[in-house]
Homo-oligomer: A and B are copies of this chain.
C-alpha cells in the first residue's frame, strides 16, 4: 500500500529550464503521444501542440490500430494537420528519433506491454492506464518494471517531489483524482472519524467512458438521462482505497453516475468527523494542502463547485460544509475529466519530470 506524505507542500520545481536531453543536446524535450485517437490522448495532443516547453514529436494510434487523420475525430483540426501514425515496435530501434518522454493513453494491456520497452530505452513515461497505479491490499500489485523504475503515483499536488525524479508516472484515474483531492487533506490531518464509512457519490460526463461505440453512449440513449454504473464495484475503488490508506475494515462506498454532459466530473463526499473537530480545522487542512497549488481552487465553506466552472480548465474546484450537530461534513470537488482528470494532470507531471513550472501550458 502506497502511503503519500502528510505534507504535500514540498517546494515545487521551478526556475530556468534545466533540461538537457539524453543525447547531450540542449533544447525542448521531445514527446510522443501513443493512443492519440481516444478522448484523453487527443486532449494531450491539444495541450502539447501549443506547450511552450515541449516538442510534440509524433502521435501514434494504439498499437494494432491503423494510421488516422485526427481531423476525422476533432473537427477543430484541418485535414492533414495532425495524424496518428501506426505504432511499430521497430520505432524504438531508430535511436536518433527516440523521444525524451512518452505519454501513453492506452488500454491496460497495451500499457503493460509498451511502458517497460520505452523505459528500457531511457524514455520517461507518463501512463494514463490503471495498470501501474496502486492497488489495495486484496488486489494484485502493479507490475514493477525495474529497480529505480517503480511507478510513482501521479497525483500532482501530493507527489510533486517523487514525480520530479521518476522514470514512470502512473497518472491517476479521473474519479480517483477528484475524490482524493477532496479527501486526502481531511484524512491526513486526522479530522475524519476512523470508525465511520466514507461515502463518495460520483457524477461524470460521457467522455469519462472513452470513445466507445456502445449503445449506452449514443446521443439518444444518454441524452435526458442519468444512470449509476458499477455501484460499490467501480474499477477505481482499489486505487482510491490504497492511496487514501483506509483500514481494511473501514467502509468506502462509491457509486458513479453518467450525466448527459460531454465533459466534467464531480464527486460529492460525505464523511463523519472525529469528535471535537472545529469547522475551522477543515478550512485549515485544505489551505495547508493546497496553498501552493494553482491547479486546485478552494472555494471555501458554503461555496460550491459546478461543472461549468472547471470544464476546459486543468483545475479542480473544491467546496465544503460541516454540520457540527451531526458531526458530518460534505466536500464537493469538480474537474474536467479530460484535463485535471487525465491529460491536464499528465502534462503537469511531464512539467515536473523536466523541471518546468508545474502548470505551464495548462489552461487555468
A contact residues, total (Cβ < 8 Å): 65
Contacts of A311 in B (CB 8 A): 224
Determine if B272 and A197 form an interchain contact, defined as CB atoms under 8 angstroms apart.
yes
Contacts of A355 in B (CB 8 A): none
Determine if A306 and B203 form an interchain contact, defined as CB atoms under 8 angstroms apart.
no
Given contacts A76-B313, A211-B218, A227-B305, contact A327 B261 (CB under 8 A): no
Query: Which stretch of A90-98, A101-109, A145-153, A262-270 is in the interface?
Result: A262-270
The residue that A231 contacts in the complex, of B221, B262, B330, with Cβ under 8 A, is: B330
A206 interface residue (CB < 8 Å to B): yes
Closest residue of chain B to A325 (Cβ to Cβ) is B251
The residue that A321 contacts in the complex, of B232, B260, B264, with Cβ under 8 A, is: B232
Instruction: Pick 24 A–B contacts, CB within 8 A, sort by A.
Output: A76-B308, A76-B312, A199-B270, A201-B255, A201-B268, A201-B270, A205-B220, A206-B218, A206-B223, A218-B218, A221-B308, A223-B223, A223-B224, A223-B260, A224-B307, A226-B259, A226-B264, A226-B266, A226-B306, A227-B304, A228-B266, A251-B328, A253-B270, A253-B326
Task: Using A219-B260, A220-B262, A255-B268 as known contacts, list a sample of 16 further A-B pairs with CB atoms less than 8 Å apart, ordered by residue number in A.
Answer: A75-B308, A197-B272, A199-B199, A203-B257, A205-B220, A211-B218, A219-B221, A220-B263, A224-B262, A224-B308, A228-B332, A232-B321, A251-B327, A257-B268, A259-B259, A259-B260
